[in-house]
């Protein structure tokens, strides 16, 4: 596997756009100069000539031959090129290195193939060897590695001169060919050696010249040393041959012109090889056969050519399959970068938007994201395929997978962030929608169905999420599924529902507590008011006995209280069950309700026994006993009345109310009510939040350091003593007034 690419990669870029102009390339481009340097503007040239996007639809021809055999002249006639030609007067070498030009005579009317590129290779001079030979070998190698057709240009009088310069050149061609293709024998592309015999006099028929040449070539082939394993190979394993003869250009200019014109029509594509022998002997057969094509995509040609030349010029082993793999890697990477530009244009703003929203902490659901992602992914993979699939299959497949995974990792991030945004906003919307529906239900006053609200909002939320997720599914991407995310979303909706249900429970509890408060306010107040009447509600008390309203005050309060709370508990339970509160939640709710109700009662009692209230009640109670007779008729005091006796009796009776009111006790047991048992133990599922707002209750919450006895104490001892004093003063006042009125009544 090639690790360090020997391709000069920068060069490919450096060439593009540097003073590129058509005029500059009027004479084509000098691909290799006399110092054997590769021209990095080749890519620019190919691009200017619109070869670059041609794919495989181009052809490359090289022309070989001794110096001054009219090669450049021929090419210029054939292809309308402007290669430098020796002037008749000067007679010195003009073509240096290797020049390339595009066919200028292209056009459907001429029947020539599209995009023919011609390389004019510096000729060797048979008389001078040495340095020249090195270049000859290198340029032959370069031409063979790149060209489909090698034109060999020779004078007629050179045919049969086996020792001539041309034979040296052909020997070189054969040798380098073997060297080049020994590595990959199976896929060895064939080449066409197209002999153009110049200054054909016509006396010797072309067929004879052809036979002479073939005989010489076979002889030559047998003499060259062949690598191991290829000893038995035949010349036509690698080469096809074609021959054409042209008349003397100077002596027969019109005929020359005519024949060149005819020759031009052969530079067209043929689809199969009709010659079993491998010989082209028909004078009009097309010469571009598919098996000659080097299969280097046009947009990779300059890089490939540069890589090949680099290997050649540095005398490295030129291994074309490796060069093609390197080219494929380089071009696939380059194409990846190119196709990523359009992808970035579409995708980067979306990534930025997500990042920005993430910084701002808001869920970012991008509308139309799925369509954009799908289109971008489809386009980039298609563009990559279009351009890169022409290159080495293995490399292309690997690079295609690399690109897809790069693209997919970005799309996946977008996909997942979109899902998580849909998740976040969905949960938020769900929560808001439930709250909104509850609020509007409350506003209408009608009892709304919380469970139904939650269920229908949850259904909507799940549908929305599924639609949001489906909208970003990427066709053909196995990873773009959202089952797991849906499960997670569902779970969170359940968690949120639980929280909302808890809120609803709280609201319910508040409502029920308010109801308890208003009920107790009224009924407890009423019971205390009864104290104002010393005779109680049911006629006269037995002598010395306390009226029923006083004696069993606490029993009645306890009964009213527990019944009210029981009623409230029923309401609470029914309602909580309607929205699927768990038994544990209901249990906690009821426990809280009992505790809170007790606090309500306790506050209410405190209010009733406040100094002002209690004094007023004591006074009323006393006056009722003192100023009314047993039949409830107001007394008119007379001096004979036992005012003092009645006073003492009424006062003592009322005074006994003070200790009675000071402690919550049931008359049957003369013990406090079983508050702790009634409230019950805290349920196991109580959370700290459930206890947060609760008032401690003595005797129930042991750790509060307050006993049940203390909890049940409504008026302290000191307060009792104080009350007694003050009440007595009030009673004394009433007594004095009665005394006065008795005396006053007598004097009247």
CB-nearer residue toward Mg ion: 29 or 437:
29
Specify whether the CB–CB gap between 27 and 118 falls below 8 A. Answer: no
81 is a contact residue toward Mg ion (CB under 5 A): no
Q: Which lies closer to ligand GDP via its Cβ, residue 249 or residue 627?
A: 249
- Indicate whether 153 belongs to the interface with Mg ion (CB under 5 A): no
Q: Which is nearer to Mg ion, 92 or 668 (CB)?
A: 92
Residue facing ligand GDP at closest CB distance: 70
Burial of 101-129, coded b for 16+ CB within 10 Å and e otherwise, reads: bbbebbeeeeebbebbbbbbbbbbebeee
Shortest Cβ distance from residue 57 to ligand GDP (Å)?
A: 28
DSSP state for residue 663 in the 8-state scheme: B
Q: In what order do the strands lie in the sheet with 29-32?
A: 29-32, 98-102, 116-121, 59-65, 149-155, 191-198, 239-245, 279-280
Choices 94-102, 398-406, 497-505, 695-703 (CB under 5 A): range interacting with Mg ion: 94-102
Residue 250 binds which entry of Mg ion, ligand GDP, none, with Cβ cut-offs from 5 to 8 Å by kind? ligand GDP
| 95 vs 322 by CB, closer to Mg ion | 95
**Min dist. Cβ of residue 155 to ligand GDP (A):** 8
Number of residues that bind Mg ion (CB under 5 A): 2
List, as one string, the DSSP characters of 530-573: GGG-TT-SSSPPPTTPPPHHHHTHHHHHHHHHHHHHHHHHHHHH
Smallest distance, Mg ion to C-beta of residue 25, A: 17
608 binds, among Mg ion, ligand GDP, none (CB under 5 to 8 A by kind): none
Which of Mg ion, ligand GDP, none sits in contact with 249, Cβ below 5 to 8 A by type? ligand GDP
SS3 of residue 120 by DSSP: strand
From ligand GDP, Mg ion, none, interface partner of 671 (C-beta below 5 to 8 A by class): none
Query: Which of ligand GDP, Mg ion, none has residue 70 at its interface (CB below 5 to 8 Å by kind)?
Result: ligand GDP
Q: Which two tokens stand for residue 514?
A: 């308010």
Site residues (vs ligand GDP, CB under 6 A): 67-73, 85-86, 88, 94-95, 123, 198-199, 248-250
Question: Do the Cβ atoms of 184 and 321 come closer than 8 Å?
Answer: yes
Sign of CA dihedral 631, 635, 639, 644: positive
Using the rule CB under 5 A, is 374 a contact of Mg ion?
A: no
Contact 318, 382 (CB under 8 A): no
> How many residues are recorded in the chain?
748
654 binds Mg ion (CB under 5 A): no
Q: Which does 73 bind (CB under 5 to 8 A by kind): ligand GDP, Mg ion, none?
A: ligand GDP
Residue closer to ligand GDP (CB basis): 71 or 458: 71
Helix (H) or strand (E) holding 714: none
Minimum Å distance from CB 123 to ligand GDP? 5
> Min. distance of Cβ 132 from ligand GDP in angstroms?
14
Site string for Mg ion, 164-193 (x = CB under 5 A): ------------------------------
Using CB under 5 A as the criterion, what x/- string covers residues 49-78 for binding Mg ion?
-----------------------x------
Residue 67, binding choice from Mg ion, ligand GDP, none, Cβ under 5 to 8 Å by partner class: ligand GDP
**CB-CB neighbours of 721 under 10 Å:** 11
Q: Is the CB of 122 or the CB of 701 nearer to ligand GDP?
A: 122
- Choose among ligand GDP, Mg ion, none what residue 701 binds, the Cβ cut-off being 5 to 8 Å by kind: none
The number of CA neighbours under 13 Å toward the Cβ of 652 is 8
197/199 Cα distance (integer angstroms): 7
* H helix intervals, 96-130: none
CB 389, min distance to Mg ion, A: 39
First to last CA, the chain: 140
- As a whole number of angstroms, the distance between CA 176 and CA 320 comes to 12
Least distance in Å: CB of 141 to ligand GDP?
A: 20
Q: Diameter of the chain by CA atoms?
A: 186
Per-residue tokens: 581 = 């509160």
Minimum CB distance to Mg ion smaller for 95 or for 573: 95
Q: Which does 28 bind (CB under 5 to 8 A by kind): Mg ion, ligand GDP, none?
A: none
Question: How far apart are CB 76 and Mg ion at their closest, in Å?
Answer: 9
Handedness of CA 95, 100, 104, 109 (dihedral sign): positive
DSSP conformational letter for 159: T
SS3 588: helix
101 belongs to the binding site for Mg ion (CB under 5 A): no
Mapping DSSP to helix (H, G, I), strand (E, B) and coil, where does residue 149 land? Answer: strand
Name the token pair of 608: 């009733």
Q: At what angle do helices 450-471 and 369-388 cross, to 10 degrees?
A: 20
Distance of closest approach, residue 221 Cβ to Mg ion, in angstroms: 28
* Token pair belonging to 357: 């929203």
Name the minimum Å distance from CB 127 to ligand GDP.
14
Instruction: State the pairing for strand pair 149-155/116-121.
Output: unpaired
Q: Report the residue number, 70 or 589, with the smaller CB distance to Mg ion.
A: 70
**Measured between alpha carbons, how far is 18 from 424 in angstroms, rounded to an integer?**
53
Among 40, 95, 147, 364, binds Mg ion (CB under 5 A): 95
DSSP 545: P
b/e map 54-63, b = 16+ CB within 10 Å: beeebbbbbb
Q: Which residue, 253 or 274, has its beta carbon nearer to ligand GDP?
A: 253
User: Considering beta carbons, is residue 135 or 554 the nearer one to ligand GDP?
Assistant: 135
**Residue ranges in contact with Mg ion by CB under 5 A:** 72, 95
């Amino acid at each position: 596997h090639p690790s360090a690419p020997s391709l000069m990669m920068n060069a490919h870029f450096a060439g593009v756009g540097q003073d590129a102009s058509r005029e500059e390339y009027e004479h084509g481009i000098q691909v290799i100069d006399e110092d054997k340097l590769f021209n990095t503007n080749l890519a620019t040239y190919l691009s200017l000539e619109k070869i670059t996007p041609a794919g495989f639809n181009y052809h490359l021809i090289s022309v070989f031959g001794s110096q001054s055999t009219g090669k450049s002249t021929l090419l210029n006639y054939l292809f309308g090129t402007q290669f430098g030609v020796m002037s008749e007067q000067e007679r010195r070498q003009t073509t240096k290195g290797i020049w390339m030009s595009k066919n200028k005579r292209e056009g459907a009317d001429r029947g020539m193939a599209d995009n023919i590129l011609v390389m004019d290779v510096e000729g060797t001079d048979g008389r001078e060897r040495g340095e020249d030979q090195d270049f000859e070998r290198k340029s032959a190698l370069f031409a063979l590695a790149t060209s489909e057709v090698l034109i060999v240009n020779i004078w007629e009088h050179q045919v049969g001169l086996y020792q001539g310069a041309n034979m040296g050149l052909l020997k070189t061609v054969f040798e380098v060919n073997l060297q080049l293709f020994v590595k990959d024998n199976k896929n060895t592309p064939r080449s066409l050696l197209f002999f153009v015999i110049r200054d054909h006099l016509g006396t010797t028929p072309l067929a004879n010249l052809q036979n002479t040449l073939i005989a010489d070539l076979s002889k030559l082939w047998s003499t060259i040393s062949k690598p191991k394993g290829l000893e038995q190979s035949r010349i036509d394993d690698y080469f096809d041959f074609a021959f054409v003869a042209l008349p003397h250009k100077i002596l027969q200019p019109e005929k020359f012109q005519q024949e060149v014109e005819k020759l031009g029509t052969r530079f067209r594509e043929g689809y199969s090889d009709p010659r079993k022998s491998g010989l082209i002997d028909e004078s009009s057969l097309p010469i571009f056969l598919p098996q000659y094509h080097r299969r280097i995509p046009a947009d990779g040609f300059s890089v490939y050519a540069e890589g090949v030349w680099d290997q050649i010029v540095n005398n490295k082993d030129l291994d074309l399959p490796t060069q093609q793999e390197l080219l494929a890697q380089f071009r696939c990477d380059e194409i990846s970068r190119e196709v990523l530009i359009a992808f970035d244009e579409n995708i980067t703003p979306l990534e930025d938007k997500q990042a920005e929203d993430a910084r701002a902490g808001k869920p970012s659901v991008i509308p139309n994201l799925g369509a954009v992602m799908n289109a971008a992914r489809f386009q980039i993979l298609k563009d990559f395929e279009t351009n890169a699939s022409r290159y080495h299959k293995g490399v292309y497949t690997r690079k295609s997978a690399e690109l897809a995974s790069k693209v997919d990792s970005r799309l996946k991030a977008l996909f997942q962030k979109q899902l998580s945004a849909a998740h976040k906003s969905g949960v938020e919307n769900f929560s808001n929608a439930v709250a909104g529906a509850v609020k509007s239900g409350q506003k209408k006053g009608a009892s709304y169905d919380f469970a139904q609200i939650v269920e229908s909002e949850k259904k909507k939320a799940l549908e929305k999420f599924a639609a949001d997720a489906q909208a970003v599914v990427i066709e053909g991407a196995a990873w773009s599924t959202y089952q797991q995310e849906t499960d997670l979303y569902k779970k969170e909706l359940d968690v949120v529902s639980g929280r909302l249900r808890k809120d609803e429970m709280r609201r319910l509890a508040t409502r029920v507590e308010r109801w308890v408060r208003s009920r107790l306010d009224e009924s407890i107040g009423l019971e205390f008011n009864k104290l104002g009447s010393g005779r109680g509600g049911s006629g006269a008390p037995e002598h010395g006995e306390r009226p029923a309203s006083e004696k069993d005050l606490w029993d009645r309060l306890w009964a009213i209280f527990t019944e009210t709370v029981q009623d409230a508990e029923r309401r609470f339970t029914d309602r909580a069950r309607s929205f699927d509160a768990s038994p544990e939640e209901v249990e906690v709710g009821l426990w809280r309700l009992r505790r809170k109700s007790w606090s309500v009662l306790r506050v209410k009692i405190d209010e009733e026994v406040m100094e002002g209230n209690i004094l007023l009640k004591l006074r009323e109670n006393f006056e009722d006993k003192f100023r009314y007779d047993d039949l409830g008729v107001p007394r008119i005091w007379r001096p004979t009345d036992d005012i003092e006796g009645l006073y003492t009796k009424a006062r003592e009776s009322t005074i006994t109310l003070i200790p009675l009111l000071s402690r919550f006790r049931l008359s049957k047991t003369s013990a406090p009510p079983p508050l702790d048992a009634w409230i019950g133990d805290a349920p196991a599922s109580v959370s700290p939040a459930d206890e947060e707002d609760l008032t401690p209750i003595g005797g129930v919450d042991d750790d509060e350091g307050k006993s049940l006895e203390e909890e049940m104490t409504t008026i302290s001892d000191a307060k009792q003593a104080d009350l007694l004093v003050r009440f007595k003063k009030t009673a004394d006042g009433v007594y004095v007034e009665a005394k006065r009125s008795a005396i006053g009544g007598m004097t009247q």
